Structure formats: C-alpha cells, structure tokens
C-alpha cells in the first residue's frame, strides 16, 4: 500500500521555483532539487516527473500568479493610462536593484538560450499572449479616452516590449529611479 503524501505540492513547486530562479534551469540539478525540497528523487519523480516536467509545472504556476496579479492591477478603477502605469510600476521591485536581479522567470527562460523544449516554448508563448490580451482589453475598454488615431493593438505590443525590456534589464540591476523613469515614458504612448 502506497503511503500518503506528507508534503504540499504547491510548497514544493514554490521551493523549486526559487531554486530555478536563482540558478537557472540548466544550473539546477535534480540533486539540488532534492536537497532544497527535502524530498527524495523517487518522491519528486512520482509527484512531478523529470526535471523538465517539474520546471514546466513551476513555470505554469508562476505564469498564473503573474497573470492574476496583472489582471487585478489592470482592472482597477483608474483610467487606462493610469492602470497601465500602475501595473508596470508594480514590477519595479522585480526588475531593479539587488532584489530585482532575478527579473522575470519566464523572460529568463525564454532568453537564456539553453532550453529547447516545445512545451516550455508553448507555455511562454501562451503566457505572453494572455498578458498582452489583458493589456489590450484594458486599452479597448478605455478607447474613448484616447485620440481618434490611437491604435490599441500596436500600443499593447509596445507596452509588452517595455515590460520585457524591463525584465531583461533587471540583470544589470538598474536603480528603481531608472526603472520608474522608463515607465514614465509610457505616458507618451497615449498622446
């Protein structure tokens, strides 16, 4: 008879996320994962599969967290412009200074060049599309606030480029002042 699990899978995913975020996918071994989570290899395999399967679960959980936080920030009772600025400002801590050195786990995964896995590529592409759709939905909802020649789709793509750029720049540890200065330029997209 199999023993019942004595661990919370979400706690294990969160612990693995921190390790992957700190060391990267390639830099994290299964031994690292067992040491960090306190689980044996058979327990990890039984619950999550191989390292790639575990990482995909970690990444999907991370995406859902970012999307939920983004949806909340973008659906505020602010103007569309203010909601976008507030949403981006919410990432300042993730992309500035020493604490922001890690940037975005999804962007790191997409840009590190070491992962050739269709499921991971699909997860990242799906996340990016959903995030852009949230931004675009907010712009469409507030379309009347903008000039007649305002293009919501092009603006949403530009805002996504700014978001991705901030997350890539995080590796250089810009100051929060520098990041906020970049975010303040978003206002020019709405004039």
In order, the DSSP letters of 167-188 are: HHHGGG---HHHHHHHHHGGGG
Say what the pLDDT of residue 90 is.
92
Is residue 129 over pLDDT 50? yes
Residue keyed to tokens 């995030």: 131
Is residue 70 within 8 Å of residue 134, measured between CB atoms?
yes
Choose among 111, 143, 124: nearest CA to 60.
Answer: 124
The full length of the chain comes to 191
Is residue 132 over pLDDT 70? yes
Say what the pLDDT of residue 97 is.
87
What is the torsional sign of CA 156, 100, 23, 71? negative
Choose among 7, 186, 188: nearest CA to 91.
Answer: 186
What letter would DSSP give residue 189? Answer: G
CA dist., res. 120 & res. 127, Å (int): 11
CA 68 to chain centre: 11
Say what the pLDDT of residue 114 is.
62
Higher pLDDT, 98 or 85: 85
Say what the pLDDT of residue 1 is.
46
Going along the chain from its start, the domains and CATH numbers come out as 59-190 (1.10.357.10)
Mean pLDDT over 69-91 rounds to 91
CA dist., res. 167 & res. 106, Å (int): 9
Dihedral of CA atoms 181, 142, 104, 174 in degrees, nearest 10, equals 0
The reported pTM is 0.90
Say what the pLDDT of residue 123 is.
93
């Amino acid at each position: 008879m199999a023993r019942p699990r004595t661990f919370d899978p979400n706690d294990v995913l969160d612990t693995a996320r921190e390790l992957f975020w700190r060391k990267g996918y390639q830099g994290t071994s299964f031994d690292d994962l067992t040491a960090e989570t306190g689980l044996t290899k058979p327990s990890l395999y039984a619950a999550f599969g191989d390292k790639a399967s575990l990482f995909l679960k970690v990444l999907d959980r991370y995406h859902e967290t970012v999307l939920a936080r983004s949806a909340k920030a973008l659906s505020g009772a602010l103007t569309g412009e203010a909601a976008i600025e507030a949403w981006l400002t919410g990432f300042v801590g993730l992309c500035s200074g020493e604490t922001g050195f890690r940037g975005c786990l999804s962007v790191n995964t997409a840009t590190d060049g070491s992962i050739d896995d269709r499921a991971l590529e699909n997860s990242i592409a799906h996340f990016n599309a959903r995030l852009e759709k949230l931004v675009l939905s907010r712009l469409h909802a507030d379309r009347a606030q903008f000039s007649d020649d305002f293009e919501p789709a092009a603006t949403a793509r530009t805002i996504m480029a700014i978001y991705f750029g901030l997350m890539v720049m995080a590796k250089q540890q810009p100051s929060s002042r520098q990041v906020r200065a970049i975010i303040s330029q978003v206002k020019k997209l709405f004039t």
